[in-house]
Amino acid sequence: MIRKWALRAIVLYLIFGIAMYAYLFFFANTSIPEALRGTAVDPATFLNGRELMLSEDYSRIRNLLFFLATPYEWLFYFLILILGVSATFEKWANNTSKFFVIRSAIYLFWLSITSFIVMFPLSFLSFTISKSYQISTQTFPGWMKDKLIDFWVSYGTMFIIITVLYFLIRKFPKRWWLAAWCLMIPFSIFMMFIQPVVIDPLYNDFYPLKDKELEAKILDLADMANIPAEHVYEVDMSTKTNSLNAYVNGIGSNSRIVLWDTTLERLSDEEILFIMAHEMGHYVEKHIYIGIAGYILLSFVELWLTAKLMERWLAKRGKDWKVKKMSNLSSLPAFLLITSILLFAASPLTNMVSRYQESRADTYAIEMTEDKEAGIESFQSLTKAGLSQVKPPYLVKIFRYGHPTMLERIKKIDEYELNK
């Protein structure tokens, strides 16, 4: 019976992959509406023929990899659970120490290293494709270094989460999900606080913006928006990518305004100021706090559903999978599988909210800078640098895009009526 379930899962994954390939490469409509031909939205007006071809090909491949990677992860969790691999990992951990904290660390290490190995081919494929399309400028050793940092940062974070989670499952068998939710809120806020100063510097070098004239302009914008910013940072990304980006992250005293050096090299001051005004729009409209509130609500529902589904699933199949009860560490793949599926199912809603907030931030940038030309040119440059589709397929938009499409963003700026 176990072999049949494993075979069915693999066949279902292959069918899904073929269906997504057919959709993205043959059936999805990515053409610009006829009424917008020749306008600022039309990629033919700011991309040459080769760039148009490359952007379509690269976007299709990247989108396919996204839709293959997520269920591939589900398949991994499902197979190691039903084939008893997870139970074997727990047995190894139990034979090593009588202390739960050590057993948790050992079990999680085996699970994490197996996941790393299994997911590595897709990650490496994504890297090589980015290199071939000249999006990534990173060397293989540099890429591997980042992957290893990812591994240990994720392992350390997960070790804390899993150790506390399974302690709560043992302590509160019926209400563990509620206790976990209560502890997760301060932990998530703490991680947001340390992200800019502890985690991000592990990957890249951050330093104060060298162009002091540009920094003064950005800080003037921040002052106009009543944003308490004292410094602007730039980060060395040109050794890793040709893409452009700028962002504001962190909370409280650790919040940072950050510009990629690729953005500084390729965009004019006016275009950079428009992008910065967009980021400031998020602060002014308190999107970060709205996002935290939404995250708290969504995580409450997700943990409750996960608890109910795990309880029923393990009661029915746990014996076959050699998972005696939910408090066994070997039940972790079931927890990760269910939460991942729920997050993916919720992504159309969360992405829709995010797109609305991004659109509001675009409006703020237009009104603050009153420079529509800079806004249009900055989005055109972002499209060109990242070989992005101006009009992605519908399924890609709802499952991948936390920002409006470039068609929507450029069209909005182009048609926006400024009050003068």
Rounded Cα gap, residues 85 and 105, in angstroms: 17
Q: Does the annotation flag 278 for ligand binding?
A: yes
> How many other C-beta atoms can be found within 10 angstroms of the C-beta atom of residue 37?
12
> How many other C-beta atoms can be found within 10 angstroms of the C-beta atom of residue 107?
25
Which tokens in the block code for residue 131?
């290199």
234 is catalytic: no
State in Å, rounded, how far the first CA of the chain is from the last one. 72
Q: Does the annotation flag 377 for ligand binding?
A: no
Residue of 362, 371, 377, 408 marked active site: 362
Q: Does the annotation flag 231 for ligand binding?
A: no
Each as own residue / partner, the long-range contacts of residues 209-218 (CB below 8 Å, 24 or more positions apart, any chain) are 209/233, 209/234, 209/259, 209/264, 210/234, 211/264, 214/264, 214/269, 214/272, 217/269, 217/273, 218/257, 218/272, 218/273, 218/276
All residues at 6 or more sequence positions from 289 whose CB lies less than 8 Å from its CB, including other chains: none
279 is catalytic: yes
- List residues bridging with 206 in a β-sheet: 235
Residue of 261, 279, 377, 408 marked active site: 279
Alpha helices for 172-253 (secondary structure H):
176-194, 212-224
Amino acid at 359: S
Rounded Cα gap, residues 70 and 16, in angstroms: 11
Closest C-alpha to 335, from 301, 309, 317 = 309
| CA count, 13 A, side-chain hemisphere, 131 | 12
Q: Residues 97, 102, 104, 107: what is their CA dihedral angle, to the nearest 10 degrees?
A: -60
- Say if residues 244 and 382 touch (Cβ distance below 8 Å): yes
Amino acid at 412: K
Please, what is the angle between helix 406-415 and helix 332-369, to 10°? Answer: 20
- Say if residues 365 and 375 touch (Cβ distance below 8 Å): yes
Strands in 256-260's sheet, in edge-to-edge order, are 206-208, 232-235, 256-260, 246-249
- Residues at the binding site are 278, 282, 358
- Residues at the binding site for Zn(2+) are 278, 282, 358
Catalytic positions are: 279, 362
